[in-house]
Amino acid sequence: MPAAKTPAEAAKLPGSPHDSAPKAARERRESERLITDWEQETTQLGRALALMTLDVSAMPSEKWAHRFIISLRPVVEDCVLLFYGAKFAALMELPEKPDHSVPMVEQLPARYVPVFTKGCIDAALRSAPVRLQGAADREDGRQELYRVAFIVFTAEPLRQQRLAFGAFNCRVAEAQA
């Protein structure tokens, strides 16, 4: 998968609900914003981020629009989408609310299953933020240039349940000949 050389911007998807997004919001890379927010929160808390430290009241906000939380499982194919923002849902053609009974790999578009499985595995193994970018081929012959970040954290500071906190954005580009 070749690396994208331009920032991923969902706002440029033709006919997408993101066409009216403010230019400043489109310019800021969602994955980098996620990592910056995580680093600031970790510094303020003086410890690793845990689910209990996330502000769930902010999840419906614009800040969370491209973000997601995945419940990690020993077998990556069993991982489940616990939460995702409205723009992430639109980009992935997902329902407004996650279905926790269906594995993530069965809900995501096939072109992004390898990206999300790699991101979850790499983040779990490294226990550090993982940044991925590249191009995914669409059925119409064009490509989606994407950027995504994954950060592993725990459900509670002393629990073993691990989660992946992330952000995803993409834009459509004409296929390279």
Q: For the domain that residue 158 is a member of, what is the CATH number? A: 3.30.450.20
DSSP letters for 113-175: HHHHHHHHHHHHHH-S-EEEEEEEE-TTS-EEEEEEEEEEEESSTT---EEEEEEEEEEEEPP
28 belongs to a structural domain: no
Query: 102-155 pLDDT, tens per residue?
Result: 999 999 999 999 999 999 999 889 877 899 999 999 988 899 999 999 988 776
Distance of CA 85 to the CA centre of its chain: 9
* Structural domain boundaries enclosing 145: 1-14+58-177
113 belongs to a structural domain: yes
23 belongs to a structural domain: no
26 belongs to a structural domain: no
41 belongs to a structural domain: no
Top pLDDT among 124 and 6 is at 124
Six-digit token string for 121: 């595995």
37 belongs to a structural domain: no
46 belongs to a structural domain: no
pLDDT at 58 over 60: no
40 belongs to a structural domain: no
What pTM, to 2 d.p., does this model score? Answer: 0.69
What confidence score (pLDDT) does residue 23 get?
38
What confidence score (pLDDT) does residue 176 get?
57
Domain count, the chain: 1
**3-state percent helix, strand, coil for the chain, nearest multiple of 5:** 35, 25, 40
